[in-house]
Amino acid sequence: MKLAESILKKDRRALARLITLVENDSKEAIEALRILHSHTGNAHIIGITGPPGGGKSTVVDRLAKELRSRNKTVGIVAVDPTSPFTGGALLGDRIRMSELSTDKDVFIRSMGTRGALGGVARATADVVKLLDAFGKDMILIETVGTGQAEVDVVKIAHTTIIITMPGLGDDIQTIKAGIMEIGDIFVVNKADREGTDRRVMELEAMLELGQMSSSWKPPVLKTIARDGEGIIELLDAAESHYKWLKDSGLLSERGVERSRDELFQIIGEKIEKAVVDKVDRQEMDDLSRRIANREIDPYTAANELLARIGLEEKK
Ligand SMILES: Nc1nc2c(ncn2[C@@H]2O[C@H](COP(=O)(O)OP(=O)(O)O)[C@@H](O)[C@H]2O)c(=O)[nH]1
Ligand SMILES: [Mg+2]
């Protein structure tokens, strides 16, 4: 209770401590999240993804500065589920070098896969909730756009920004394969380099082929994040997207969908835990072996286990 109250009183150290508890899946964290739930739902959550080295961290740093000049408070979560050696500088390092590091209205947290027991997407979602309850106006999540874990991370966001750059012929393929569908705004960063306009045209052509059903047409913007160019337009586009989500009713619709997913995830975890508490490891292994040996089918086996907690399906 004390920690949740401290969050509402904007105690930054309590926030940092609670985030660690969330990452470790502790009981105290759940208790705090329970209390804080009614204080969430006010932040605009932005996911920023794309291939390593494209300039995500630089864009995040610039966006945060622009937000501060608009008097908005900022939370930043940097997620790297893959490896620390993905090319670009670690966000923490980049921010530490910038004037944001001393701004008490910018809260920065890096997350790895280690410690995230329920999966990195789940831990990130809870950390974002804490930042939301704390009262951050905008929350920026940076993650490398390469795999399913990262796509799951980005799904937490209201607005997804895909960052790419000119050159590197292959990475447009990577974007196409994985994350093209989830982009609300596309950015060609490093617009100081040759090939920028071609990359913009490629993206626009790909977008023409895709999502025709939505009334939101993802814009393709050019930035030179290193020099802060195009950042105002990018932030304006993100805010237009959020407004569109609200006006179209999609924001609340997606909120309900997300809550349903969360509800079933919690229920699933609770049932699993209840079963695991009742059945010892040896028995679980034996049952799994019998399924593998085709001595019993998994439906019957599951029903046997569910019977131990009174949830078996009656014939
Ligand atoms: N030429 C140029 N370099 C940039 C620009 N933005 C970022 N960079 C550089 O690109 C490298 C990778 O940037 P970073 O933000 O760490 O990329 P990330 O891996 O996507 O987070 C760094 O050396 C940046 O200084 C830009 O607009 N133009
Ligand atoms: Mg980065």
Ligand 2: centre distance to CA 244 (Å) = 28
Confidence of residue 87 (pLDDT cuts 50, 70, 90): very low
pLDDT of 73 reads: 97
**Is there a single domain that holds both residue 62 and residue 176?**
yes
- Say if residue 139 is in the same domain as residue 277: no
Decide if 15 is inside a domain: no
Task: Please state the domain count of the chain.
Answer: 2
CA 58 to ligand 1: nearest atom? 15
Residue whose CA lies nearest to ligand 1 atom number 3: 190
CATH of the domain at 202: 3.40.50.300
Q: Which atom of ligand 1 is nearest to the CA of 88?
A: 19
* Distance from the alpha carbon of residue 232 to the mean position of ligand 2, in angstroms: 20
Cβ neighbours of residue 155 closer than 8 Å, sequence gap 6 or more = 47, 121, 182
Q: Same structural domain for residues 290 and 230? A: no
3-class SS letters over 115-164: CCCCCHHHHHHHHHHHHHHHCCCEEEEEEECCCHHHHHHHCCCCEEEEEE
Q: Is 199 a member of any domain?
A: yes
From the list 267, 307, 265, 314, the residue with the least C-alpha distance to 287 is 307
Q: Which of 48, 49, 56, 58 to mutate to test the pocket of ligand 1 (most atoms within 8 A of CB)?
A: 58
Q: How confident is the model at residue 168 (pLDDT cuts 50, 70, 90)?
A: low
Indicate whether 161 and 294 sit together in one domain. no
Token pair 């789940």 is at which residue? 122
Question: How many whole angstroms separate alpha carbon 258 and alpha carbon 303?
Answer: 29
Predicted confidence (pLDDT) at residue 143 exceeds the cutoff of 90: no
Instruction: Name the residue range of residue 267's domain.
Output: 259-307
* The domain boundary residue, chosen from 223, 248, 273: 248
Closest ligand 1 atom, residue 54 Cα: 20
Show the CA angle centred on residue 187, arms to residues 124 and 159, nearest 5°.
40
Beta-strand relationship, 185-188 and 106-111: unpaired
Tens-digit pLDDT profile for residues 1-51: 589 999 999 999 999 999 989 888 889 999 999 999 999 999 999 999 988
* 108 and 155, same domain (yes or no): yes
Distance 59 CA to ligand 1 centre (A): 8
Tell me which amino acid residue 104 is: K
- Tens digit of each residue's pLDDT (9 = 90 or more) over 89-121: 455 555 555 777 788 899 998 876 554 556 778
